């Protein structure tokens, strides 16, 4: 071929290595998202999801502890807590259990601002109180997503996964072995 035959098909196409070496051996570094050709707008990390409220103005959550499961509904009100269609004072007679239930409201600074209606099954009273507390905390975060940070730092959104260890065969209980007899 002659060198004067420079038709568009015969022209050499410069590749990326030619462009990089032509620029004095410098390679182009990416310093911004715009260099990639993507959009510069990102989702704001501080954007919170909207509240999840039903048609009756309530938020629902399920709380669990040990073998107890609590279904909890919260709505704005005067601070009445109803457990299994009974007031909290009659269902949870011990003051410690009522204190456990009120902890999420104290941390969130929402004392006497929400009415709570819950049904709870399984376990004993201590496990049921912990399940109601867990459910109230989850329902508060669904009603007001901004409360997630104080409730999370207080440990109210973490499910206490400790349960009774099962009994093993050849044992009296989970770990208790038979009494040793020398004779």
Residue 31: per-residue pLDDT: 77
132, part of any domain: yes
The tally of domains found in the chain comes to 1
The residue range of the domain holding 66 is 59-153
75, part of any domain: yes
- 18 C-beta neighbours (distance < 10 Å), count: 11
131 touches 70 (CB < 8 A): yes
The half-sphere exposure of 84 on its side-chain side, counting CA atoms within 13 A, is 13
Angle formed by the axes of helices 125-143 and 95-107, nearest 10°:
20
19, part of any domain: no
The gap from C-alpha 17 to its chain's centroid, in whole angstroms, comes to 49
53, part of any domain: no
User: CA end-to-end span of the chain, whole Å?
Assistant: 109
111, part of any domain: yes
**pLDDT 10s digits, 43-72:** 555 677 888 999 999 999 999 999 999 999
71 touches 135 (CB < 8 A): yes
Q: Does 149 have pLDDT greater than 90?
A: yes
73, part of any domain: yes
109, part of any domain: yes
The enclosing domain of 83 has a CATH number of 3.30.230.10
Mean pLDDT of 89-103: 96
Q: Percent of the chain having pLDDT more than 70? A: 78
Strand-by-strand arrangement of the 81-83 sheet: 59-65, 68-76, 114-121, 81-83, 86-87
The gap from C-alpha 29 to its chain's centroid, in whole angstroms, comes to 39
**pLDDT 10s digits, 16-28:** 555 455 555 566 7
Beta strand extents in 21-164 (DSSP E only): 59-65, 68-76, 81-83, 86-87, 114-121
110, part of any domain: yes
């Amino acid at each position: 071929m002659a060198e004067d035959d420079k038709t568009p098909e015969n022209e050499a196409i410069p590749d990326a290595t030619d462009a990089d070496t032509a620029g004095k051996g410098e390679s182009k570094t990416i310093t911004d998202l715009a260099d990639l050709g993507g959009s510069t707008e990102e989702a704001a990390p501080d954007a919170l999801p909207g509240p999840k409220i039903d048609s009756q103005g309530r938020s629902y959550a399920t709380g669990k502890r040990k073998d107890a499961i609590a279904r909890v509904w919260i709505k704005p009100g005067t601070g009445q807590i109803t457990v299994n269609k009974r007031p909290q004072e009659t269902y949870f007679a011990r003051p410690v259990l009522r204190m456990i239930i009120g902890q999420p409201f104290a941390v969130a600074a929402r004392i006497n601002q929400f009415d709570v209606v819950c049904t709870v099954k399984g376990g004993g009273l201590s496990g049921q109180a912990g399940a109601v507390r867990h459910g109230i905390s989850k329902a508060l975060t669904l009603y007001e997503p901004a409360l997630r940070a104080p409730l999370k730092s207080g440990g109210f959104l973490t499910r206490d996964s400790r349960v009774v260890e099962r009994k093993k065969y050849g044992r009296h209980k989970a770990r208790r072995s038979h009494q040793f007899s020398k004779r």
